[in-house]
A and B are shown apart, each in its own frame.
Chain A
Amino acid sequence: MSEFLFWFMTAMTIGSALIVVLHSNLFYSALALVVTLFGVAGFYVFLWADFLAGVQVLIYIGGILILILFGIMLTNKISSVNISHSNFHQSIAAVIVLGIFSILGWMILRTPWLLIVQQEPEQTVGKIGRLLMTEYLLPFEVASVLLLTALIGAAMLSRKAN
């Protein structure tokens, strides 16, 4: 059952990512990105990262994607044809990207990965919280300052100049 679920999610994620990349209507791309992000959250669950799956749904889908939809709607007149857009150099880019993908795949298959078998942890939130408050305290504080700076900067930038 979980095997089937895994491959179903793989197909869903990659398929919707293809729609994100290739669909000519930007609004449908953003909606397909919702499906991709949900699929990635599902992979997090498979990777025993339940807390991060929740964070992914809350921040990515609830926050970033809403921002992107706002961006699309504020910068396009829905009635105009301009919401779709032309792509260029697609064949050259496809060759480059396929090359990079095959190099990555070759690397993944050839590398002798060192695997350490582990039991599924009973809790993840407590351990992440403890790491954030001890070992990663400085990056944690820097991240909060960064978020504040980004908030002020975004508000400054998007304000209409008078």
Chain B
Amino acid sequence: MDQLQNYLFIAAALFSLGLFAVITRRNAVAVLMGVELILNSANVNFLAFSRFGGMNFDGHVFALFVIIMAAAEAAVALAIIINLYNNYQSINVDEASQLKR
């Protein structure tokens, strides 16, 4: 468990799964969940490199900023998704070719 490679592999697996969700899912909320998985994998990488590369806390601050960005992104994305639902009565990202109807 005290090995950098373990954490990097976990982060790579989370990233791949998130990317899979972003590619295959049609529901916009599911795509958003895939993006959250990708952001989490980036955070694991930041903290792993911080822990095994000298523990100078820069990685911690970066991970904190990533979490802040994720909060802002989720709020705006859900506002857009709800708008989309009001306009189209569905949140299938393939059908949404226009923001206004």
Asked, given contacts A20-B33, A33-B36, A105-B12, whether A67 binds B75 with beta carbons under 8 Å apart, the answer is yes
**Is B58 a contact of A131 with CB atoms below 8 Å?**
yes
In Å, the complex CA distance between A13 and B55 comes to 25
CB closest residue in chain B, given A136? B61
Write out the residue numbers on chain B whose beta carbons fall within 8 Å of the beta carbon of A20.
17, 21, 33-34, 37
**Is A124 a contact of B27 with CB atoms below 8 Å?**
no
User: Whole-angstrom distance from the CB of B2 to the nearest CB of chain A?
Assistant: 9
CB closest residue in chain A, given B52? A115
5 interchain residue pairs of minimum CB distance? A150-B72, A157-B79, A6-B1, A154-B79, A104-B12
Task: Please tell me which one of the listed residues B15, B30, B47, B58 contacts residue A44 in the complex, with CB atoms under 8 A apart.
Answer: B47
Task: Please tell me which one of the listed residues B20, B29, B43, B69 contacts residue A93 in the complex, with CB atoms under 8 A apart.
Answer: B20
What is the size, in residues, of chain A's interface with B at 8 Å between Cβ atoms? Answer: 84
Task: Please tell me which one of the listed residues A17, A47, A67, A128 contacts residue B51 in the complex, with CB atoms under 8 A apart.
Answer: A47
In Å, the complex CA distance between A14 and B79 comes to 29
Asked, given contacts A124-B60, A151-B75, whether A101 binds B12 with beta carbons under 8 Å apart, the answer is yes
Check A2 for interface membership: any CB of B closer than 8 A.
yes
Contact with B along A143-162 (1 / 0, CB 8 A): 10011011101111110100
What is the size, in residues, of chain B's interface with A at 8 Å between Cβ atoms? Answer: 69
Write out the residue numbers on chain B whose beta carbons fall within 8 Å of the beta carbon of A155.
79
In Å, the complex CA distance between A144 and B63 comes to 15
In Å, the complex CA distance between A89 and B24 comes to 6
In Å, the complex CA distance between A82 and B23 comes to 20
Check B97 for interface membership: any CB of A closer than 8 A.
no
Write out the residue numbers on chain A whose beta carbons fall within 8 Å of the beta carbon of B74.
63-64, 67-68
List 5 interface pairs A-B (beta carbons < 8 Å), by A numbering: A10-B6, A14-B14, A59-B67, A108-B9, A156-B79
User: Whole-angstrom distance from the CB of A22 to the nearest CB of chain B?
Assistant: 9
User: Whole-angstrom distance from the CB of A159 to the nearest CB of chain B?
Assistant: 9
The B-contacting residues of A in range 32-74, CB under 8 angstroms, are: 33, 36-37, 40, 43-44, 46-49, 51-52, 55-56, 59-60, 63-64, 67-68, 70-72, 74
User: Whole-angstrom distance from the CB of B34 to the nearest CB of chain A?
Assistant: 7
**Is A146 a contact of B13 with CB atoms below 8 Å?**
no
Write out the residue numbers on chain B whose beta carbons fall within 8 Å of the beta carbon of A46.
1
In Å, the complex CA distance between A114 and B55 comes to 13
